[in-house]
Amino acid sequence: MDEQKTIASLGEFPLIEKFFSTLTSEDALPAAQGVGDDAALLSIPRTQQLLTTTDTLVEGVHFNSDMDPFLLGQKALRVNLSDLAAMGAKPHWYLLALSLPANTSEAWLEEFSRGLKVAGEQFSISLVGGDTTRSKGCISVTLTLFGLIGKERAILRSGAQEGDSIFVTGTIGDSTLGLAQRMGQLRISDPEALIFLKHRHQQPTPRVDAGIALVERAIARAAIDISDGLIADLSHICRASNLAAEIYGEKIPFSPAATTLLQESEQDLFPHLLTGGEDYELLFTAAKGSLTQIKEIAENLDLPITEIGVMKKGEPGVTLLRDGAIFPLKNKGWSHF
């Protein structure tokens, strides 16, 4: 393909046909009507509820203009999938609203579309429609996802109960370390650790299967995905459930790469790992007696799930203890404004 050929010479409808008409997954429910009519037509099974979520990524705000479009396509889908995972839904369909400057190259769009295809197949979700417009400045990508869940089974932020244990999937803080390295704020000398941490930032793994498993066994009482940082997102559960949370620093799961950096770095990275965000792990609460079942889920999915604290009566908010003492947190998490 001619690297320089722009989408302006292609035209809107051939563009949609070429890059967005076949991004379907065999494992998603087929749309009664997908891309190509005025609206997508979706059949919802009688026993299910529809969950929907949307997110926008803007060039210069959420990604740099030099970001690899293949990774951008994947990441856009992955971060949205994480929101469905947090409620326990099975993803099925999505819409794509795309604004592009006329000088965007066809090669860029091809790679972006390939990123969506790969992630869509991996996580079983089909593109069923969207909108394509010209922008005068930057690229903007908005995805709207649709998932299904059994009636009344969705896990809400508001369901935590006093005495619930608090759990997280995977490891915390890798993504923020990957980002800090890219911004030149952190040196990572071990090449393997560098690859791992960069990957965790660029290609977060939405915990779709974990969300579904928690719903199947009706274990989680409240859940959220960690996008703004462990502390900030746990605070959301506290507020929605009107409870306090106490978590224990020494129980928080860090990857080997993060652990090494924690030990070696001159500055204390510990608070940054808990507030940096973009982990896209699930944080959920469950009754004390659920531990055995949670261990089974962790084993089946080959995904660590770690108990890090407890929900308590009290003013909504998070208390972090480290070696028995309260660890003060200044910056609680990422906020756009």
- Positions that interact with Mg ion (CB under 5 A): 38
Site for ligand ADP in 101-120 (CB under 6 A): none
The site for ligand ADP, by CB under 6 A, has a size of 13
Closer residue to ligand ADP (CB): 121 or 246: 121
Between the alpha carbon of residue 49 and those of residues 39, 74, 151, the distances in Å are: 20, 26, 5
Dihedral sign of CA atoms 206, 182, 230, 301 in order: positive
Is 127 a binding residue for ligand ADP by CB under 6 A? The answer is: yes
C-beta of residue 328 within 8 angstroms of C-beta of residue 228 = no
Q: What is the C-alpha separation between 296 and 3, in angstroms, rounded?
A: 50
Coil, strand or helix: which one is 52? strand
Structure tokens at 159: 């369901």
**For the chain, how many helices (H) and strands (E)?**
10, 11
Among 96, 172, 243, 244, binds ligand ADP (CB under 6 A): 96
Q: Amino acid letter at 25?
A: S
Tell me the window of 32-40, 62-70, 134-142, 203-211 that interacts with ligand ADP (CB under 6 A).
Answer: 32-40
Among 6, 105, 132, 259, binds ligand ADP (CB under 6 A): 132
In the complex, minimum distance from the CB of residue 16 to ligand ADP, in angstroms, rounded to a whole number: 5
Total number of residues shown for the chain = 337
Is 130 a binding residue for ligand ADP by CB under 6 A? The answer is: yes
Site string for ligand ADP, 5-24 (x = CB under 6 A): -----------x---x----
In the complex, minimum distance from the CB of residue 146 to ligand ADP, in angstroms, rounded to a whole number: 13
C-beta of residue 29 within 8 angstroms of C-beta of residue 48 = no
In the complex, minimum distance from the CB of residue 39 to Mg ion, in angstroms, rounded to a whole number: 8
Task: Point out which residues pair with 86 in neighbouring strands.
Answer: none
Instruction: Give the footprint of ligand ADP on this chain (CB under 6 A).
Output: 16, 20, 35-38, 96, 98, 127, 129-132
